[in-house]
């Protein structure tokens, strides 16, 4: 799935095709994303959407030609999403007409290429289970602790610099023992570390 928003643009016979993509978890989020792009480009000739939400039996797909000839834009865009292997993804290709008709084949190619280009610009991620920790540590341990968190694929969530540095971090569950061990080595066992919950997080692939 996409790690976050991406955008790319191509030009075909003076028509501009602006492809916008983002991660969505629900059909409502996908529709809100489509609405936000339409609001951003209200004077565009077309705003062609496609999305894939969920997986298995709960998978929902949608596409629309938004006024383009039937089958020339939304369906090719959805096919590009299928080919990407991504899930929970929404894309809108905004077109500003440049004065030259592209024909059926030209439209299919242009929308497909715009979709492929924004996918090339998209960072990919995956959902992992994480443990949530709060930590209190002296300033001298802040940079080494931060390095441990980042090295094992964790993430700093909050930080407060007072008498001690107070932090909230998320750590992949599969790295839990490694994290505890490194923290013990780092502080000689004196670091205050409290697990306060579990959850899921979208993390980068590679």
* Domains and their CATH numbers in the chain: 6-120 (3.30.230.30), 125-204 (3.30.70.240)
The pLDDT of residue 51: 98
The answer to whether residue 128 scores a pLDDT higher than 90 is no
Number of other residues whose CB lies within 10 A of the CB of residue 51: 25
Lowest mean pLDDT across 9-13, 85-89, 130-134, 166-170: 85-89
Q: Model confidence over 52-108: pLDDT tens digits? A: 998 777 889 999 999 999 999 999 999 999 999 888 999 999 999 998 999 999 999
Helix (H, G, I), strand (E, B) or coil at 146: helix
Whole-model pTM: value is 0.72
Number of other residues whose CB lies within 10 A of the CB of residue 70: 9
Query: Could you tell me which residues come within 8 angstroms of residue 126 by beta carbon, excluding any fewer than 6 positions away?
Result: 1, 202, 203, 205
Query: In DSSP terms, which residues pair with 7 in a beta bridge?
Result: 20
The answer to whether residue 114 scores a pLDDT higher than 70 is yes
**Structure tokens of 52?**
């894939």
């Amino acid at each position: 799935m996409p790690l976050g928003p991406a955008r790319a643009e191509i030009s075909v016979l003076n028509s501009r095709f602006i492809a916008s993509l983002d991660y969505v978890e629900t059909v409502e989020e996908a529709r809100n994303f489509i609405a936000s792009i339409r609001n951003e480009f209200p004077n565009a000739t077309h705003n062609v959407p496609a999305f894939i939400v969920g997986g298995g039996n709960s998978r929902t797909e949608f596409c629309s030609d938004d006024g383009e000839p039937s089958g020339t834009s939304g369906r090719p865009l959805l096919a590009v999403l299928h080919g990407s292997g991504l899930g929970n993804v929404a894309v809108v290709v905004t077109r500003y007409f440049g004065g030259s008709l592209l024909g059926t084949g030209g439209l299919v190619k242009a929308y497909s290429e715009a979709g492929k280009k924004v996918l090339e610009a998209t960072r990919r991620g995956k959902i992992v289970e994480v443990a949530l920790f709060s930590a209190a540590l002296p300033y001298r341990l802040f940079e080494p602790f931060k390095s441990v968190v980042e090295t094992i694929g964790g993430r700093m969530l909050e930080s407060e610099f007072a008498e001690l540095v107070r932090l909230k971090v998320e750590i992949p569950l599969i790295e839990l023992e490694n994290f505890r061990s490194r923290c013990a080595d780092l502080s000689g066992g004196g670091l205050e570390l409290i697990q306060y919950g579990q959850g899921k997080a979208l993390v980068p692939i590679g």
